[in-house]
Amino acid sequence: MSAATGFTPQEWAFLTDTLGLAQAPRAKVRAATVAELCEPAHCARVLDQLSPVIGSPGRRVTASLLSKRLGFLLTGASLYALSACNRALDVSSDNCLLEWAHDGSRWTSSLPLISLESVSLESVSLAGPEREAQRRRLVARLFAGVMQPLWQTFHEVSGVPLNMLWENVAVRVYSLYERRMAELDDPQASARRDEDFNFLLTAPASLFGVPWNPLARFYYPETLTDNGGTQRFRRTCCLYFKATCPAEYCQSCPLLKPRRR
């Protein structure tokens, strides 16, 4: 076990190498606190500076694509730690930095946390009141405390629809639970995964800071594709194709959804 974090070496490697968890650096480079990035003038400057780096034609596209990256980083490490590792990271607005590092071809940003300490939930039962309280606290800090004010600012300075920003996050959460955690070795971890995913899909809107649960809102049935497989297509387009040349589309892009016969 890691004395500093409480995770096993294998868990820590996945959290850091795959999901981007990191120790917050002393100097912020292409990063800001949640409060700083929620300041409209500062947010607008960041979007304008980032647009040419990622090949975006303007703020609206940049805000959407940055929200996808931040959504991946914020939900990936915190929810994987919760469900797979049974530990609660501190993803409050006071403990995390928001990074937007990009090398011109791909994102290189991470999720720096000022404190990497986590709370073990091993001593509480799966559906016990103590674990549920910790889970509710984590979800509220993550979605209502960090994402809601951030997406509201993105919307105000770029005009990007809030539905698009929230669906950008929702698809990341679905992928985490249905793909990355699809085959956990530990039966207890598998049970936590299923229980936590169900909680996220049925949690009260108050935990997200918006009038509706965005994870439930966009959880549509999968569609049969032309190759015989299935795909859960989005309702909003994230505009990724506008930042690529020639145009590329996400696998779940609604523009690719087969027409009903």
DSSP output for 189-236 = HHHHHHHHHHHHHH--GGGTTSSS-HHHHT-PPPEE-TTS-EE---SS
Query: Which of 126-130, 188-192, 209-213 is least confident?
Result: 126-130
Asked if residue 220 lies in contact with residue 235, where contact means CB atoms within 8 angstroms, the answer is yes
Cα–Cα distance, 78 to 42 (Å, whole number): 26
Q: What is the pLDDT of residue 123?
A: 61
Q: What is the pLDDT of residue 1?
A: 38
Query: Which of 16-25, 26-35, 206-215 is least confident?
Result: 26-35
Q: Is the pLDDT of residue 223 over 90?
A: no
Q: Give the model confidence (pLDDT) of 3-22 as tens digits.
A: 456 899 999 999 999 999 99
| b/e burial code for range 19-29 (CB count within 10 A of at least 16 → b) | bbbbebeeeee
- Where exactly are the structural domains of the chain? 9-221
| b/e burial code for range 68-94 (CB count within 10 A of at least 16 → b) | bbbbbbbbbbbbbbbbbbbbbbbbbbe
Q: Give the model confidence (pLDDT) of 140-195 as tens digits.
A: 999 999 999 999 999 999 999 999 999 999 999 999 999 999 999 899 999 999 99
Q: What is the pLDDT of residue 2?
A: 47
Here the tokens at position 98 are: 């928001």
Helix (H/G/I), strand (E/B), else coil: 186: coil
pLDDT band at 229 (very low <50, low <70, confident <90, very high): confident
Q: What is the pLDDT of residue 258?
A: 82
Q: What angle do CA 251, 254, 258 make, to 5 degrees?
A: 85
Average pLDDT over the chain, rounded to an integer: 93
Please report, rounded to a whole number, the percentage of residues in the chain having pLDDT higher than 70. Answer: 94
Please report, rounded to a whole number, the percentage of residues in the chain having pLDDT higher than 90. Answer: 83
Q: Is the peptide bond before 9 cis (omega within 30 degrees of 0)?
A: no
Name which residue leads in pLDDT, 20 or 121. 20
Cα–Cα distance, 259 to 178 (Å, whole number): 25
pLDDT band at 126 (very low <50, low <70, confident <90, very high): low
What fold characterizes domain 9-221? Transferase(Phosphotransferase); domain 1 (1.10.510)
Helix (H/G/I), strand (E/B), else coil: 23: strand
